Amino acid sequence: MMEKASQRRQPGRTLARVLALLAVGVFVGGMAANAQDFDRDWDQHFRPGNLVVSRSVYDNKASNVQVGTVLPPNCASTQGGCSASTGAPYNGLYPYVWNNDVYDGSFGITSKILLDQITPYGWLINTLEVPNSSQRSNTSARDQLVTSFSSKSELALNLSTDGRYLTFMGYVAPVDALDVSNSNTPGEIDTTNPVGVNYYRAVAQVDREGKFHFTETNAYSGNNGRAAILNNISGGDFFYTAGNAGNGGNPQPAGILLGAGAQIIDPLEELESVQAPAEPTPVSSFSITELTGVTKADKLGKDDNFRGMTIFNNALYYSKGSGSNGVNTVYFVDTTGTACPTGAGLPSASAVLPSSPLAYNPSTLLTKGLPNNMCVLAGFPSVPNKNLTTVTSFPFGIWFANASMVYVADEGDGYTGGTDLYTHAAAQTTAGLQKWVFNSTTQKWTLAYALQTGLKLGVPYTVSGYPTGTNAATSLPWAPARDGLRNLTGRVDEWGKVTILAVTSTVSGNGDTGADPNRLVAIEDLLSNTDATVAAQEEFHTIREAGFGEVLRGVSFTPGTELARGRW
């Protein structure tokens, strides 16, 4: 049955949808008295208590890709070589352009980044466009940042540790550039990477006034940076970031190994055009050999394919949910060196957040890799992907409600292997929003339930202007359907009600499902509940919808929200 989408990016008007968001609404109303002085400056772009959603819009021009163009760009000059002599089979028109992914595994096109400020009920207040080359006032000498439109793991939004800044990652490149998400960075060239162009990755920092600052990095060469958090309390002034690196052969160069996974980056003060980022500085690393009984390591750097990240109680957490190596699970950085002698454990009560790069031996980097200082969070999956017949865990966003309750977004397995893609998505039992509860007796986290009601996994929906029927390039239906959740945020009200907002993942017959228009959804959960039967009565509601040529990526509360609430 096809679900019909409501008006593009407009909130629902049903009573149930409003009720589902009351926890956020109560929070906003309750903090008003504490925020009177803070809120008098009405010319601020972001106002406390609202939400920010990162959105990208594809520049829908046929000329973006010429049929027959040999890809990846400048591939003939690399050891990786070109995809095929026949060239790209599709031009740049959306959504058919993403069928080029079948021809070029590195295919992507950069697009502008938009930050939509919305009310907790989904109404659009304003939009802040991140500086980019499509703006007439912008030149190559001025700061700019873009995303790769079809790269679904990008543009997570996180507040700084003091709550004053919003951070995310992108590329220092023009709009409509090809294959940037798999390009090398200028300082870390892998000659076996078939993409023969080089672009810096960068962390964006934006304040309540809507002012941007960017810090370039050589990390994530060959792949993408996905999330960033600014630690700027207790004397700190640096970013933690999550991502992946490498798009070439093995063994990978030293710079690729150093620039993967979890990084710590010092902010650069200059304009992008004069910044000179140094070698990547990893802050942590994990290897499956840390786990009891695992003796054979994966290829170096392959276990650190991180996506989501968060900070809670002086611990830095990461998630891994894709790739055939490593473990799809939730990790934390062990700064004590004693938390996980068997590869899994719990953060020490005396732990502090990391403040310096991970020390390593350059002479053994290419043979032994980085030293390991990460642990699987006790109770979460700890079996290497290669040892599983079927991988069923795909964690993405992480949000702690308190010290004993954590919500994890599971994006689903992304199956597009046949015409059963919809029924396959619908049959998943752990995709969606997982609630994990800490058991103080066993000293482990346990999965209480996965919230799915109203998420409509595997139910195809319509998008105005989108093609119908079957995509000839994939022999699968064009219509997208929800497969799970990616980035998320949440709030707990004074009555113990939790409101979670999350961005959906999709399956479809699109050549790249990351280009599917997706949704922002919300659900209310009782914090104290651990009964799956009770939880099944709670329901997701759609509060924001991407339209034709659009995607939603990250969600966060606005800079200053916690400050106004009186947390600091």
pLDDT in tens, 381-438: 999 999 999 999 999 999 999 999 999 999 999 999 999 999 999 999 999 999 999 9
pLDDT at 190 over 60: yes
- Give 286's pLDDT tier (boundaries 50, 70, 90): very high
Please compute the mean of the pLDDT values over residues 297-326 and round it to a whole number. Answer: 95
Please compute the mean of the pLDDT values over residues 315-344 and round it to a whole number. Answer: 96
Question: What is the pTM for the complete model shown?
Answer: 0.93
* Single-letter code of the amino acid located at 488: L
Please compute the mean of the pLDDT values over residues 305-327 and round it to a whole number. Answer: 96
Average pLDDT, the chain: 91
pLDDT at 216: 98
pLDDT at 519: 98
Q: Are strands 309-312 and 315-320 parallel, antiparallel or unpaired?
A: antiparallel
* Single-letter code of the amino acid located at 526: L
pLDDT at 431: 98
- Give 157's pLDDT tier (boundaries 50, 70, 90): very high
Task: Using only the alpha carbons of the chain, give its radius of gyration.
Answer: 22
pLDDT at 117 over 60: yes
Please compute the mean of the pLDDT values over residues 515-526 and round it to a whole number. Answer: 98
Instruction: Kindly report whether the peptide bond that precedes residue 251 is cis, defined as omega within 30 degrees of 0.
Output: yes
- Give 351's pLDDT tier (boundaries 50, 70, 90): very high
Which residues, 6+ apart, have CB-to-CB distance to 425 below 8 Å? 412, 415, 431, 457, 458, 481, 482, 483, 507
List 488's β-bridge partners, or say none: 502
pLDDT at 155: 98
Which residues, 6+ apart, have CB-to-CB distance to 542 below 8 Å? 6, 12, 17, 519, 520, 521
Distances (CA, A) of 413 to 102, 224, 380, 503: 19, 20, 17, 16
206-258 pLDDT, tens digit each: 999 999 999 999 999 999 999 999 999 988 899 999 999 999 998 999 999 99
Provide the token pair at 163: 């709550």
pLDDT at 163 over 50: yes
pLDDT at 17 over 80: no
Give the residue from 170, 131, 132 showing the smallest Cα distance to 153: 170
pLDDT at 565: 58
In angstroms, rounded to a whole number, what is the distance separating the alpha carbons of residues 64 and 67?
10
Where does 374-415 show beta strands of DSSP type E?
374-377, 395-402, 405-410
Please compute the mean of the pLDDT values over residues 106-133 and round it to a whole number. Answer: 96
**Beta carbons within 10 angstroms of residue 231's beta carbon:** 20
Which residues, 6+ apart, have CB-to-CB distance to 211 below 8 Å? none
